[in-house]
């Protein structure tokens, strides 16, 4: 296991390969697009995995002793569903209700869930754990991160472009069963796969609390 204080952490061999194969099999029946599926926390095998003590322990290192899981997404990159993701931060959070607060927004609705772009202080209370169901390799479009960029707050496109030019990227590769922890404000991207090997990832998000005060509360599901 590699530990860092740079906005991400790579934890190899958290789960057995056989466990990941069983998870893949159980996920085969869920409705999805070619690229994967949103809001899969309600799927029993995903919720079971999200509440596994090994993941809870990792999340607690970033957001405190009682992390709350609130969202899970399945990413499924393959030759038939191949894409790249440009350098960006994850700044939108799902919320239960809309409030007029100048720190939050713009607002949108995705798959029936209300979202708002969040301020840096709220995003600092969130951690994403990316569980590799398959081997993540240099050739199948792995997650790439710019270390320490989570310390810079919410960035605009020009600021991100300058960081990409000035920073050395890290490729987050790990075998099946490995976990990559990433703070939402870490600038990250992924390239298209050049391999026939699929890269399926469960992206599970935890927060210190669902309550952000002033009536703002994360939507869980």
Q: pLDDT value at position 153?
A: 97
pLDDT at site 1: 40
pLDDT at residue 115, as a whole number: 97
CA gap 7, 187 in Å, rounded: 9
Tell me, what's the pLDDT at 50?
98
- Residue carrying the six token digits 């799902």: 94
Residue 126 to residue 93: CA distance in whole angstroms? 10
Rounded CA gap, 72 and 202, in Å? 7
**Structural domains of the chain, with CATH:** 8-212 (2.60.120.620)
Distance, in Å, from the CA atom of 13 to the CA atom of 56, rounded to the nearest integer, reads 16
For residue 3, the model assigns a pLDDT of: 47
Spatial separation of the C-alpha atoms in residues 201 and 36, rounded to whole Å: 9
Burial class, 110, CB count within 10 angstroms (exposed 0-12 / middle 13-18 / buried 19+): exposed
What pLDDT, on a 0 to 100 scale, did the predictor assign at position 75?
95
- Side-chain-side CA neighbours of residue 87 (13 Å): 21
The pLDDT score that the predictor gives to residue 82 is 87
Residues 6+ apart with CB under 8 A from 165: none
Query: Residue 139 region, left (φ>0) first, then alpha (ψ -120 to 50), else beta?
Result: alpha
| pLDDT, one tens digit for every residue, the chain (221 residues) | 444 469 999 999 899 999 999 999 999 888 887 788 999 999 999 999 999 999 999 999 999 999 999 999 999 998 888 888 999 999 999 999 999 999 999 999 988 899 999 999 999 999 999 999 999 999 999 999 999 999 999 999 999 999 999 999 999 999 999 999 999 999 999 999 999 899 999 999 999 999 999 899 999 98
Give the whole-angstrom CA distance, residue 91 versus residue 89: 6
């Amino acid at each position: 296991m590699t530990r860092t204080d740079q906005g991400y952490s790579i934890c190899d061999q958290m789960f057995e390969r056989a466990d990941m194969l069983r998870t893949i099999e159980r996920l085969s029946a869920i409705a999805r697009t070619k690229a994967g599926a949103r809001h899969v926390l309600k799927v029993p095998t995903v919720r079971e995995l999200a509440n596994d003590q090994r993941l809870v322990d990792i999340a607690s290192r970033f957001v405190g002793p009682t992390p709350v899981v609130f969202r899970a997404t399945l990413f499924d990159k393959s030759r038939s569903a191949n894409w790249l993701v440009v350098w960006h931060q994850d700044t939108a959070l799902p919320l239960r209700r809309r409030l007029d607060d100048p720190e939050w927004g713009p607002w949108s609705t995705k798959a029936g869930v209300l979202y708002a772009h969040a301020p840096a202080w709220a995003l600092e209370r969130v951690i994403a754990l990316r569980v590799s169901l398959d081997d993540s390799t240099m050739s199948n479009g792995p997650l790439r991160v710019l270390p320490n960029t989570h310390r810079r707050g919410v960035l605009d496109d020009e600021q991100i472009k300058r960081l990409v030019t000035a920073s050395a990227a890290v490729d987050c590769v790990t075998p099946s069963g490995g976990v990559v922890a990433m703070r939402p404000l870490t600038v990250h991207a992924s390239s298209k796969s050049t391999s026939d090997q699929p890269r399926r990832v469960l992206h599970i998000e935890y927060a210190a609390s669902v309550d952000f005060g002033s009536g703002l509360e994360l939507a869980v599901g």
